[in-house]
């Protein structure tokens, strides 16, 4: 899929329509335009068409044998530092610019959503630990592991405070949207050499066995289960805004009934999409507020 959408429209064949062009033009789901174009190009890439099916099968088989290995030798190979060095090296050398954009942007988007929730609940003060990487060196500081830990610690701190104070989640008025950035996140230059071809899902499928191998079982399972907290974060936001419509965009649900780790790669992509759609809703609220003046939560 090309940058120039007008060329694709001119070449549109009604008997052979491009499904990713249709998804890009569709406006039913709120999402950042740059993110959407990158995701559709990523879906339409040769890597996604030809490498992904093979990589998915290989990844699942590898995970099965690692699972057995970790059962008998749970502490023999555990190194988050080595894992993140591998991730940084692989992302820089083999992953496409579109996929890298989606990965890096996810940390910024996720951090801003948690900052929004922390800043907009009445009578609650929670410090967050934003993760906003701008280069591949930032990945080496246990970036992916910290992302999962931050999410669980945030849920624990928030609900501990709510329970101790005996209060529900009530949104502040007016809302604080200062932490929500409205730019297109195009200020990071990603490598675009001949070897930077892997699509997002292929990259995740390849990296997941390394994640499983170099993390403890607790860290790996927790990382997989954290994806289902999409529903939890969406509910917090709905309680603040008083508008639950965006809950219908969440696919990773029911965190009290965890999924198998073998589906983690696919659910990770859904997790990224859920974060992007929720963030875009907050962006639109901020833009509307800037247009109309200070906005208060819907009652």
Q: Are 231 and 254 in contact (CB under 8 A)?
A: yes
Q: Is 37 left (phi over 0), alpha (psi -120 to 50) or beta?
A: alpha
pLDDT of residue 189: 85
- Count the neighbouring beta carbons within 10 Å of the beta carbon of residue 197: 16
Mean pLDDT of the chain: 92
In tens, the pLDDT along 260-279 reads: 999 999 999 999 999 999 99
Q: SS3 of 178, please?
A: coil
Distance CA 82, CA 142 (A): 9
Residue 296's pLDDT is what?
45
- The domain limits of the chain are 32-292
Average pLDDT of the residues in 150-159: 97
Question: CA 241 to CA 235: how far, in whole Å?
Answer: 10
pLDDT of residue 3: 62
How is the chain split among helix, strand and coil, in percent rounded to 5? 65, 0, 35
- pLDDT tens digits along 39-90: 999 999 999 999 999 999 999 999 999 999 999 999 899 999 999 999 999 9
Given a contact cutoff of 8 angstroms between Cβ atoms, the answer to whether 83 and 210 are in contact is yes
Does residue 156 surpass a pLDDT of 80? yes
Contact (Cβ atoms closer than 8 angstroms) between residue 274 and residue 230: yes
Tell which wins on pLDDT, 215 or 290: 215
Q: What percentage of the chain reaches a pLDDT higher than 90?
A: 85
With bands split at pLDDT 50, 70 and 90, how would you rate the model's confidence at 1?
low
pLDDT score of 102 more than 80: yes
Residue 72's Cβ-count burial label (10 Å; 0-12, 13-18, 19+) is exposed
Binned at pLDDT 50, 70 and 90, residue 226 comes out as very high
Residue 186 pLDDT class (50, 70, 90 cuts): low
């Amino acid at each position: 899929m090309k940058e120039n959408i007008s060329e694709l429209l001119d070449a549109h064949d009604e008997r052979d329509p491009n499904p990713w062009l249709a998804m890009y033009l569709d406006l039913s789901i709120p999402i950042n335009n740059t993110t959407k174009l990158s995701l559709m190009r990523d879906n339409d890439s040769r890597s996604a068409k030809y490498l992904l099916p093979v990589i998915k099968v290989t990844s699942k088989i590898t995970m099965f044998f690692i699972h057995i290995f970790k059962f008998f030798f749970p502490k023999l190979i555990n190194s988050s530092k080595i894992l993140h060095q591998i991730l940084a090296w692989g992302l820089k050398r083999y992953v496409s610019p579109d996929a890298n954009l989606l990965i890096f942007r996810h940390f910024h988007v996720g951090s801003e959503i948690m900052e929004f929730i922390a800043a907009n609940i009445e009578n609650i003060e929670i410090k967050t630990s934003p993760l906003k990487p701008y280069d591949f060196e930032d990945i080496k500081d246990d970036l992916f592991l910290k992302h999962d830990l931050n999410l669980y610690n945030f849920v624990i701190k928030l609900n501990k405070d709510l329970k101790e104070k005996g209060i529900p989640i009530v949104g502040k008025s007016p809302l604080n949207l200062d932490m929500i950035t409205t730019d297109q996140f195009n200020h990071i230059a990603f490598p675009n050499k001949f070897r930077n071809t892997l699509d997002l899902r292929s990259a995740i499928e390849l990296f997941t066995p390394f994640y499983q191998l170099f993390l403890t079982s607790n860290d790996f399972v927790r990382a997989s289960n954290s994806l289902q907290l999409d529903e939890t974060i969406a509910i917090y936001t709905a309680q603040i805004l008083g508008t639950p419509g965006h809950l219908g965009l969440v696919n990773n649900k029911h965190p009290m009934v965890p999924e198998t780790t073998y589906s983690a790669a696919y659910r990770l992509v859904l997790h990224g999409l859920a974060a992007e759609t929720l963030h875009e809703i907050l962006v639109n609220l901020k833009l509307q507020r800037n247009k109309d003046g200070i906005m208060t939560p819907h009652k």
